[in-house]
Amino acid sequence: MKSIYQALSEIEKSNESAALCTVVKSEGSTPRHVGSKMLVYPDGRFIGTVGGGELESRVIKAAIESIHNGTAQNLSYTMADPSRGDPGVCGGTVEVFVEPILPPAMIVVIGGGHVGKAVVHLAKWLGFSVAVSDDRQEFSNPESVPGADAYYPVPMGKLTEHLNVTRQTYLVITSRGSPIDAAGLPSLLDSDAAYIGVIGSKRRWLTTVKALKEQGVSDEKIARVHSPMGIELNAETPEEIAVSIMAEILMLRDKGTGRMMKE
């Protein structure tokens, strides 16, 4: 059986998610000592133990919540009286720190044109992992779009077959037209992406929405898309548009308001 540390290494290499649960305080009679660890996967599988029984069941549930919302938790339990909701009868108290282990945030630029190149450059400078995808080989390679960590020269609709799109993935679609978007978006809308943005005018997006609805895509899924994407800056150049796009992503990721700081 693999150790927790081996499993953590594998999770990091494969860009998967999990939650590390550690007993950080133990007083009186408790099932496990300080430092005891358990690694919980999104589907509820786990390695290690923090005490078994109802206590462990509650920690696993909290761990899955932390994986989904990306927030750490410090859990405190009294092990005395199940009739009042305690998870055991040992008599002591225990605290468990739950730390979500998430893949690094990734910007995936779909469309390797002028704006796409500018987004790649800025996103990399901001510390994101960056990937580029385009159905045209000549627009998805290190020579035409330098600086990315990975390249996927595949149609938009097949991207999820080659890339694991997670809650840490931000999809920036800078494609060359509405027909491309309408054909490729349905599979992306079924993914766990944290953000899906599409470049273009309001008219272009309305045309895409019409085509998506004709394919049977629900209003709920369509509502996930930010289009036109970005913050209103009256941006014109590819570099200015990239700033607008990344500003929106940072605002949403970090729960900002987009208001001027002096207000």
State pLDDT tens for residues 107-124: 999 999 999 999 999 999
Q: Are 192 and 224 in contact (CB under 8 A)?
A: no
CA distance to 168, 175, 213, 230, per residue, from 179 (Å): 27, 10, 13, 21
pLDDT at 35: 92
Q: What is the mean pLDDT of residues 181-201?
A: 96
Q: Which of 34-43, 50-59, 96-105, 197-206 has the lowest mean pLDDT?
A: 50-59
Distance CA 15, CA 189 (A): 20
pLDDT digits (tens, 9 = 90+) for 204-259: 999 999 999 999 999 999 999 999 999 999 999 999 999 999 999 999 999 999 99
Residue 167: what pLDDT? Answer: 86
Which pLDDT score, from 0 to 100, does residue 31 have?
Answer: 66
Residue 82 has pLDDT above 70, yes or no: no
Model confidence at 30, pLDDT cuts 50, 70, 90, reads low
In the chain, the percentage of residues whose pLDDT exceeds 70 is 94
Among candidates 31, 38, 192, 40, which has minimal Cα distance to 108?
192
> pTM to 2 decimals?
0.78
45: number of Cβ within 10 Å: 10
Please check the confidence at residue 126 and state whether its pLDDT lies above 90: yes
Third-level CATH fold of 106-253: Rossmann fold (3.40.50)
Phi, psi values for residue 47, rounded to 5°: -125, 135
What is the pLDDT, as a whole number, of residue 80?
54
Q: What is the pLDDT of residues 142-178, one digit of tens each?
A: 999 999 999 999 999 999 999 989 889 999 999 999 9
Domain segments of the chain as ranges: 4-101, 106-253
161: left (phi over 0), alpha (psi -120 to 50) or beta: alpha
The confidence band for 86, taking pLDDT boundaries of 50, 70 and 90, is very low
**pLDDT in the model for residue 87:** 47
Looking at residue 79, its pLDDT comes to 62
